[in-house]
Amino acid sequence: MTLWQFARAQRLGLIPGPDVAGDRWSAAVFDDALDRVDAIRQAVGAMPDVGAVRAEEHLAERFNMTVHSGTAAELARRGHLSVVGDHKGHPLYCGLPLENLTDRRKVERASAAGQLHMRDAAAKLLGIRESDLDHLVRAGLLTHAATARSSWNKHDVVLLYRQADLDRVTRSRRIDWAAVRATPRAAGPRSRRSAPRSGGQPDGDDGRTRHRDRPAGRPAAAPPRASTTDTVTPIR
């Protein structure tokens, strides 16, 4: 039995905690667990706890489909995956429900709702300017769901917006979308310090970012949606 299997067995109550001084197990507890070792192995499953990217890679391979970054978090929101810890501040998902997840429709719905978009892509999906998206954020109508770090400046944090939140805002009756979308865009020369226009970054900025999760090793697991000039690469 591996260490992670032992830890999960304890978490599931299949193996009791230490029962003698010094954080040790008595011979009786040890012998009982040894007698049940095959049943314990079967109960804890074959997949260790993993981060979001590896979870999404697994689902992409299992169902032979594109699984967007943000899917694991969305599945957890819907109660289909469980968070059992963290690694460097990022969630660790229990491998047992991930291994037992066989409903493709649940994954498809979670991938569609949980897909992450950068600021410019989110504004484009809403059909508004990026400055208007900032107004939605300040008004409390929209909140980012995750973050990424810029590859050219690791101190810069990029906010990522969830598709389901964008859909919810689109349906909001508090917003006069016709008026917002009819607002003319700013024209004229822009300085290098100006905020980026939708679809790009200020001059001299290649716009590359890294997602805080580890990188997907297979192309089927899709990164957060970016603009045509942006590249989002997860961080391992």
Tens digits of per-residue pLDDT, 88-108? Answer: 888 999 999 999 999 999 999
Tokens read off for 166: 């964008």
Q: Please check the confidence at residue 144 and state whether its pLDDT lies above 90.
A: yes
Q: What is the pLDDT of residue 197?
A: 46
Question: What one-letter code names the amino acid at 196?
Answer: P
Banded model confidence at residue 64, pLDDT cuts 50, 70, 90: very high
- Is the distance from CB of 233 to CB of 209 less than 8 angstroms? yes
- pLDDT above 80: residue 151: no
For the stretch 120-132, pLDDT in tens is 999 999 999 999 9
Pairing of strands 232-234, 209-211: parallel
Give the per-residue pLDDT at 152.
76
Asked whether the predicted pLDDT for residue 193 surpasses 80, the reply is: no
What's residue 157's pLDDT? Answer: 87
For residue 37, what pLDDT is reported?
94
- Tokens 């508004």 label which residue? 128
Q: In this predicted structure, what is the pLDDT of residue 175?
A: 87
CA nearest neighbour of 69 among 85, 86, 52: 52
Q: What is the mean pLDDT of residues 194-201?
A: 44
Q: How far from 80 is each of 1, 72, 122, CA to CA, in Å?
A: 26, 9, 26
pLDDT for the residue numbered 223 = 60
User: Is the model's pLDDT at 5 over the cut of 70?
Assistant: yes
DSSP string, 46-62: S---B-HHHHHHHHHHH
Distance CA 186, CA 181 (A): 13
Q: Is the pLDDT of residue 138 over 70?
A: yes
pLDDT average, residue stretch 6-14:
94
